[in-house]
Amino acid sequence: QVQLVESGGGVVQPGRSLRLSCAASGFTFRSYGMHWVRQAPGKGLEWVAVIGDNGNKKYYGDSVKGRFTISRDNSKTTLYLEVNSLTPEDTAVYYCAKEGAFNNWYFDLWGRGTLVTVSS
């Protein structure tokens, strides 16, 4: 079954860290760039980060640059997002998403998301 399943979200205090995971199955994970996209409650979609198929290329949105780190383990078909120095503005559902075709950065497969709530 082709799917992405995120985990690792939860309630965390400002300034703390979390590691989000996204387990992929049903497709050749190592052949696609992977992304994180987030959505604050009641708001629109915000692209967060991308990692190339072999991990060689990484880009970040301005709001998370320097605080978030994207990585992947192709042997485990898993994508990660290390989120540090969290603020209430980082509260959102975090989706992992697969690029539609090699180096074409639209998203044809999304996970159900994991909710990160930053609150004291």
Please report, as ranges, the residues that interact with other proteins according to CB under 8 A.
35, 44-47, 50, 59-62, 95, 100, 104-108, 110-113
Residue nearer to other proteins on the CB measure, 14 or 100: 100
Shortest Å, Cβ 72 to other proteins: 18
In the complex, what is the shortest distance from the CB of residue 103 to other proteins, in angstroms, rounded to a whole number? 10
Rg (CA), the chain: 13
55 vs 59 by CB, closer to other proteins: 59
Contacts of 37 (CB under 8 A, 6+ apart): 45, 46, 47, 48, 94, 95, 96, 97, 107, 110
- Contact between residue 51 and residue 111 where contact means Cβ atoms under 8 Å apart: no
In whole angstroms, give the CA distance from residue 90 to residue 47: 12
SS3 state at 104: strand
Residue with smaller CB distance to other proteins, 31 or 104: 104
Amino acid at 34: M
> Which residue, 102, 77, 67, 66, is CA-closest to 3?
77
The residue (of 13 and 66) whose beta carbon lies closer to other proteins is: 66
Nearest distance from residue 69's CB to other proteins, in Å?
A: 16
